[in-house]
């Protein structure tokens, strides 16, 4: 399944991948050597040259800057916060004449945990072509001074982006913590730290070549057992996996990770809770207590803190990401004979399935002996090589994962078939009576498993399930072999859909998909309650509104507690029955628990709610329905576009407009208050920003970028430019402090202030009320409901002339208000504006679609009605202005396609500068015409 061989030996400090099958190895007391993994020979080397220095972490190479970075520390110095400082030596990778200490420029930093290059060598033809184009465009200058090339993770928490000679950016939100592990993916850094109490947390950073920022606060990671401590971690683009001291590998979905579509049963929404966890067996992991002793040199690059701070849990285990969905764990273990072996386990991160498990002895890798006191580091060689570099302190091993399969659904389901693997192990008589690694379970070795397969015992068993049998803890195997206590239980699928983007949209993406086991007892209770309620309905024992609510209370309470959906047929029958008897309280209770997906299942309910003045219930019903059929829309418009049929309907419409008016006034007051606060805070913010531009003094050293030699004057002018621009901007008058030139030059995403956001909310709320009558405000929810164009046209054709004119008047006022008051203030907000529920107008597109359908359905009538002429003229003006504003955007799609394909925009055809016209007269001239022509010449 996997093989390993020795690449080189020595006092190995670590290694890092150079891409394209090459590895950069850091050797204590010697220097750096770049090895070709295929030929197993060194192709480049540098001597360290400093007799009093050691490597503090593996050296790395950054492709964009063409620099090598080597973290060093004084020989014999500690790595804690009080143990001195480290230095990062940076030098040109093309310069091989001389030692590192003579070629490099030292950059003094606090004690380091590890460094990561910000860019690696391109893999593949497309990446190489893009890198070549960038190099021709002088994006790679080779000096490292233009932007950062290395990301330094501090041992005491925090991170820095460094160039060849300076710190470009830093963040220290996690200072005071002890860094246990760090994992870097392009653009994202995950640092797992431990506090003084041993509690682990994960800090996520967004990394750019010139900036590093924390993505929200640190996430507290829930330990699988009490007293367990984090030992190692690895982050993929989709998941973050943490190995704990009790052997549990927990997978978390931290902020910034791509979450999977399907959620595990019982999954928590807290990012600190693991999505899935698997307990591994056999690894030598130190205990969780602070008094645990570690052998000298077993830090694995993880530095010890001062007295009173937790030490690294284990240096004898390392982790690395393999692609986007798999992680590898390598560490010291003990086999059945009691000998030290190097155990390698590969797991998938979505379901925690073991994909590969193998033990390597000293003879397997070509070494005389393995030293379990040495740290273990794992590095993925990237690409499609399926190779790992494992540093074991005295050697660098290259492990090739021959039978590692992609994490497809078939492979994952086969990997969880632990019961079949157990049956195959018993049938082949390959299980031993002793337990693995002091409490592990008897499991077949790879050779025994192959023999079982040859004898038919393991026929049809996925190899990953056999690997899981060797790698997982007995308790974990028992849980997987007999889930839910050994009783098979059916699974139930729950799907939550996103809001449709277009009216009548049938294909809607799912916002959440979850599986959970079916509780048969709860299902029987719900079914019994449904039968009881249905029998009471058939016998007419429900009475009035209060009696109906009392009869429905046990069923609805059970629905809320269990989360199981009720019978759609029963729900629709109950809604129609409650509407017929005007039991609006019961309708409210039913809609709060479960609403019909299609209004065609509850015919006449929407029109009945509108006629009774129950407009909040109507809006909730329309918001929860997937589609409004043409018949239901026609009946609803007939009610809303006609005068109120009762005092209840009139009062309901007036109450609806008063609620909208109140929310609009509250939004306007909030906008004024936000504007006043901004006017008070803006001068102080501008003064603080200008103070940040003051040059540093001798008593206050600056962290801004500085050059050496003749470049100081140019650098000073470049640094003074933002300050001068900010001063000029402040002298011009009050403006948004978030749009200052310094922020714009830094490349950060700038958002409008809170006052502008509140002003947009106030404008949208005012557009939903101003100029509209009580009958017209009630139409907002109908216009905003999802509709198919054909259903809308059919429903509008059923309206009478007076009703069509009333609808056209409403649309004319709404369009004018949306165009003048709202404009583009409602678009482009992240997150989207949270408008008041009663004062939310339809969008401009929805109003235009209704206006177009109304004109199409009543074209002849409206053209002959003199009252419709000014309304049509006003709507036409809004449409003409909107078309003029969007005309320039028609070219945007083509421009984006040209930019994505890296092609120049087509040039307009130019007319020729010189041209001539020749006139030929082919008629036959008479004799008289010929004489006249001759005389003219």
pLDDT of residue 430: 45
Averaged pLDDT for residues 483-498: 67
* DSSP code at position 393: S
According to DSSP, the β-strands at 22-27 and 159-162 are: unpaired
What are 177-194's pLDDT values in tens digits?
788 899 998 888 999 998
Least trusted range by pLDDT, from 79-88, 841-850, 859-868: 79-88
In 10 A of CB 86, how many CB atoms? 27
Question: What one-character-per-residue DSSP string does 676-692 give?
Answer: HHHHHHHHHHHHHHHHH
- Residue 755 pLDDT level (bands cut at 50, 70, 90): confident
The total domain count for the chain is 3
Report percent pLDDT > 70 for the chain.
Answer: 75
Distance CA(285)–CA(228), nearest Å, equals 11
Tokens of 748: 């950060």
Boundary residue ending a domain (382, 400, 418):
400
- Residue 417 pLDDT level (bands cut at 50, 70, 90): confident
Kindly state whether residue 249 falls inside one of the protein's structural domains.
Answer: yes
910 vs 762 pLDDT, higher one? 762
Q: Using CB atoms within 10 Å of the CB of residue 912, give its burial: 0 to 12 exposed, 13 to 18 middle, 19+ buried.
A: exposed
* DSSP code at position 720: H
Q: Are 264 and 245 in contact (CB under 8 A)?
A: no
Q: Using CB atoms within 10 Å of the CB of residue 102, give its burial: 0 to 12 exposed, 13 to 18 middle, 19+ buried.
A: exposed
Residues 444 and 388 in one domain: no
- Residue 923: alpha-carbon gap to chain centroid: 79
Averaged pLDDT for residues 470-493: 74
pLDDT of residue 729: 37
Distance CA(16)–CA(31), nearest Å, equals 14
In 10 A of CB 389, how many CB atoms? 24
Kindly state whether residue 585 falls inside one of the protein's structural domains.
Answer: no
Kindly state whether residue 158 falls inside one of the protein's structural domains.
Answer: yes
pLDDT of residue 489: 63
Residues 345 and 476 in one domain: no
Averaged pLDDT for residues 582-600: 89
Averaged pLDDT for residues 655-684: 85
User: CA nearest 60: which of 35, 85, 86, 23?
Assistant: 23
Residues 334 and 461 in one domain: no
The sheet carrying 3-9 orders its strands as 3-9, 395-400, 387-391, 377-380
Least trusted range by pLDDT, from 101-105, 414-418, 633-637: 414-418
- Residue 24 pLDDT level (bands cut at 50, 70, 90): very high
Distance CA(852)–CA(849), nearest Å, equals 5
User: CA nearest 345: which of 366, 362, 359?
Assistant: 359
Kindly state whether residue 198 falls inside one of the protein's structural domains.
Answer: yes
Q: What is the 3-state secondary structure (H, E, C) of 289-325?
A: CCCCCCCCCCCCCCCCCCCCCCCCCCCCEEEEEECCC
According to DSSP, the β-strands at 510-517 and 262-263 are: parallel
Distance CA(150)–CA(61), nearest Å, equals 8
Q: Is the pLDDT of residue 310 over 70?
A: no
Query: How many secondary structure helices (H) and strands (E) does the chain include?
Result: 27, 33
Distance CA(748)–CA(754), nearest Å, equals 18
Averaged pLDDT for residues 25-51: 89
Q: Is the pLDDT of residue 34 over 90?
A: yes
Q: Are 838 and 665 in contact (CB under 8 A)?
A: no
Give phi and psi for 461, each to the nearest 5: -95, 130
Question: What range defines the domain where residue 234 resides?
Answer: 3-400
Distance CA(486)–CA(489), nearest Å, equals 9
Kindly state whether residue 766 falls inside one of the protein's structural domains.
Answer: yes
Calculate the dihedral angle through the C-alpha atoms of 712, 716, 717, 722, rounding to the nearest 10 degrees.
150
Residues 268 and 328 in one domain: yes
Averaged pLDDT for residues 798-809: 93
Averaged pLDDT for residues 664-691: 78
Residues 340 and 201 in one domain: yes
Q: Is the pLDDT of residue 128 over 70?
A: no
Kindly state whether residue 463 falls inside one of the protein's structural domains.
Answer: yes
Q: Is the pLDDT of residue 809 over 90?
A: yes
In this prediction the pTM is 0.55
- Residue 695 pLDDT level (bands cut at 50, 70, 90): very low
Tokens of 782: 């109908």
Kindly state whether residue 152 falls inside one of the protein's structural domains.
Answer: yes
Boundary residue ending a domain (341, 369, 400):
400
End-to-end CA distance of the chain: 101
- Residue 259 pLDDT level (bands cut at 50, 70, 90): low
CATH assignment at residue 298: 2.130.10.10
Residues 499 and 454 in one domain: no
- Residue 747 pLDDT level (bands cut at 50, 70, 90): very low
- Residue 335 pLDDT level (bands cut at 50, 70, 90): confident
pLDDT of residue 137: 60
Least trusted range by pLDDT, from 151-165, 244-258, 730-744: 730-744
Averaged pLDDT for residues 548-563: 87
Residues 387 and 442 in one domain: no
pLDDT of residue 77: 62
Mean pLDDT rounded to a whole number for the chain: 77
Residues 370 and 419 in one domain: no
Tokens of 584: 């609006």
Residues 212 and 235 in one domain: yes
Residues 345 and 434 in one domain: no
Question: Which single residue is written with the structure tokens 């950016």?
Answer: 169
Least trusted range by pLDDT, from 224-228, 389-393, 448-452, 770-774: 448-452
Q: Is the pLDDT of residue 843 over 70?
A: yes
Least trusted range by pLDDT, from 69-83, 728-742, 872-886: 728-742
pLDDT of residue 9: 92
Calculate the dihedral angle through the C-alpha atoms of 158, 163, 169, 173, rounding to the nearest 10 degrees.
0
- Residue 568 pLDDT level (bands cut at 50, 70, 90): confident
Kindly state whether residue 356 falls inside one of the protein's structural domains.
Answer: yes
pLDDT of residue 195: 83
Question: What one-character-per-residue DSSP string does 736-799 give?
Answer: -GGG-HHHHHTTPPP---HHHHHHHHHHHHHHTTTT--HHHHTTHHHHTS---HHHHHHHHHTS
pLDDT of residue 78: 55
Least trusted range by pLDDT, from 75-89, 234-248, 255-269, 400-414: 255-269
Q: Are 468 and 441 in contact (CB under 8 A)?
A: no
Least trusted range by pLDDT, from 209-223, 375-389, 452-466, 740-754: 740-754
What are 498-550's pLDDT values in tens digits?
776 665 566 777 777 777 777 778 888 888 988 888 888 777 666 788 888 88
Question: Which single residue is written with the structure tokens 């009720």?
Answer: 566
* DSSP code at position 188: E
pLDDT of residue 443: 44
832 vs 144 pLDDT, higher one? 832
Boundary residue ending a domain (400, 420, 446):
400
Residues 297 and 212 in one domain: yes
Question: What one-character-per-residue DSSP string does 451-488 give?
Answer: HHHHTTTTTT--HHHHHHHHHB-HHHHHHHHSGGGG--
Residues 496 and 459 in one domain: no
Q: Is the pLDDT of residue 737 over 80?
A: no
pLDDT of residue 704: 33
Calculate the dihedral angle through the C-alpha atoms of 547, 553, 554, 559, rounding to the nearest 10 degrees.
150
């Amino acid at each position: 399944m996997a093989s390993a061989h020795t690449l080189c030996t020595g006092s190995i400090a670590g290694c890092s991948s150079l891409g394209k099958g090459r590895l950069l190895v850091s050797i204590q007391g010697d220097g750096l050597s770049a090895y070709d993994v295929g030929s197993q020979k060194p192709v480049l080397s540098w001597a360290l040259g400093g007799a009093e220095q050691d490597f503090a972490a593996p050296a790395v190479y950054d492709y964009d800057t063409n620099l090598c970075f080597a973290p060093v520390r004084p020989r014999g110095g500690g790595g804690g916060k009080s143990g001195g400082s480290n230095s990062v030596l940076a030098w040109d990778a093309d310069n091989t004449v001389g030692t590192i200490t003579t070629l490099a420029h030292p950059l003094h930093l606090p004690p380091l945990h590890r460094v990561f290059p910000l860019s690696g060598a391109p893999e593949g033809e497309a990446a190489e072509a893009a890198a070549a184009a960038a190099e021709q465009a002088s994006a790679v200058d080779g000096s490292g001074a233009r932007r950062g090339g290395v990301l330094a993770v501090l041992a005491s928490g925090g991170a820095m982006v460094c160039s060849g000679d300076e710190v470009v950016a830093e963040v220290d939100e996690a200072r005071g913590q002890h860094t246990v592990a760090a994992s870097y993916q392009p653009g994202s850094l995950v640092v797992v730290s431990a506090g003084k109490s041993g509690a682990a947390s994960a800090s996520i950073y967004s990394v750019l070549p010139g900036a590093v920022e924390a993505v929200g606060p640190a996430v507290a990671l829930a330990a699988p057992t009490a007293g367990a401590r984090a030992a190692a971690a690895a982050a993929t683009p989709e998941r973050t996996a943490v190995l704990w001291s009790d052997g549990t590998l927990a997978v978390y979905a931290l902020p910034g990770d791509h979450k999977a579509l399907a959620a595990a049963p019982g999954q928590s929404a807290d990012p600190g809770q693991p999505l899935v966890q698997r307990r591994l067996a056999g690894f030598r992991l130190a205990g969780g207590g602070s008094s645990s002793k570690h052998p000298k040199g077993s830090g694995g690059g993880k530095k010890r803190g001062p007295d009173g701070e937790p030490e690294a849990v284990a240096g004898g285990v390392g982790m690395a990401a393999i692609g986007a969905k798999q992680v590898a764990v390598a560490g010291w273990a003990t086999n059945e004979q009691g000998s030290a072996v190097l155990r390698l386990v590969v797991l998938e991160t979505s379901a925690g399935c073991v994909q590969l498990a193998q033990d390597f002895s000293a003879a397997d890798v070509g070494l005389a002996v393995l030293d379990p006191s040495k740290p273990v580091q794992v590095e993925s060689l990237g690409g499609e090589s399926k190779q790992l570099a494992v540093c074991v302190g005295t050697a660098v091993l290259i492990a090739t994962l021959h039978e590692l399969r992609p994490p497809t659904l078939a492979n994952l389901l086969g990997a969880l078939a632990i019961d079949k693997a157990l049956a195959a192990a018993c049938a082949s008589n390959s299980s031993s009576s002793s337990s693995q690694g002091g409490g592990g379970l008897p499991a077949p070795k790879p050779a025994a498993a192959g023999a079982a397969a040859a004898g038919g015992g393991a026929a049809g068993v996925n190899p990953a399930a056999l690997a899981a049998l060797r790698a997982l803890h007995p308790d974990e195997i028992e849980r997987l072999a007999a889930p839910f206590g050994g009783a098979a239980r059916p699974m139930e699928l729950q799907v939550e859909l996103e809001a449709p983007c277009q009216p009548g949209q049938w294909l809607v993406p799912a916002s959440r998909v979850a599986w959970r086991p079916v509780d048969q007892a709860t299902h029987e209770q719900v079914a019994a309650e449904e039968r009881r309620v249905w029998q009471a309905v058939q016998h007419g024992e429900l009475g009035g509104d209060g009696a109906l609510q009392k009869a429905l209370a046990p069923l609805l309470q059970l629905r809320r507690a269990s989360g199981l959906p009720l019978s759609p047929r029963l729900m629709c029958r109950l809604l129609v029955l409650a509407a017929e008897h005007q039991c609006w309280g019961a309708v409210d209770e039913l809609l709060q628990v479960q609403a019909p997906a299609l209004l065609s299942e509850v015919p006449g309910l929407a029109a009945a709610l509108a006629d009774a003045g129950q407009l909040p219930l109507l809006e909730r019903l329309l918001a929860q329905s997937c589609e409004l059929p043409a018949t239901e829309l026609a009946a609803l418009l007939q009610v809303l576009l006609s005068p109120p049929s009762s005092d209840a309907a009139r009062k309901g419409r007036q109450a609806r407009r008063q609620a909208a008016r109140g929310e609009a006034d509250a939004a306007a007051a909030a906008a004024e208050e936000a504007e006043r606060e901004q006017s008070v805070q803006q001068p102080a913010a501008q003064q603080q920003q200008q103070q940040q531009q003051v040059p540093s003094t001798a008593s206050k050293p600056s962290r801004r970028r500085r050059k050496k030699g003749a470049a100081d004057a140019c650098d000073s002018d470049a640094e003074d430019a933002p300050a001068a621009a900010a001063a000029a901007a402040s002298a011009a008058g009050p403006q948004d402090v978030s749009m200052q030139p310094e922020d714009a030059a830094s490349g950060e995403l700038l958002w409008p202030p809170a006052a502008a956001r509140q002003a947009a909310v106030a404008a949208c709320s005012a557009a939903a009320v101003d100029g509209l009558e009580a009958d017209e405000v009630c139409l907002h929810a109908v216009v905003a409901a999802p509709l198919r164009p054909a259903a809308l046209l059919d429903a509008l054709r059923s309206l009478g002339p007076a009703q069509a004119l009333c609808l056209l008047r409403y649309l004319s006022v709404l369009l004018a208000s949306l165009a003048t008051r709202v404009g583009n203030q409602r678009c482009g907000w992240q997150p989207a504006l949270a408008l008041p529920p009663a004062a939310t107008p339809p969008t401009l597109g929805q109003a235009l679609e209704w206006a177009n359908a109304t004109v199409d359905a009543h074209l002849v009538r409206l053209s002959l009605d003199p009252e419709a002429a000014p309304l049509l003229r006003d709507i036409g003006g809004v449409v003409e202005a909107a078309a003029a504003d969007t005309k320039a955007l028609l070219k945007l799609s083509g421009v984006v396609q040209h930019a994505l394909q890296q092609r120049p925009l087509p040039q307009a055809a130019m007319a020729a500068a010189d041209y001539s016209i020749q006139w030929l007269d082919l008629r036959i001239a008479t004799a008289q015409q010929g004489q006249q022509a001759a005389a003219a010449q």
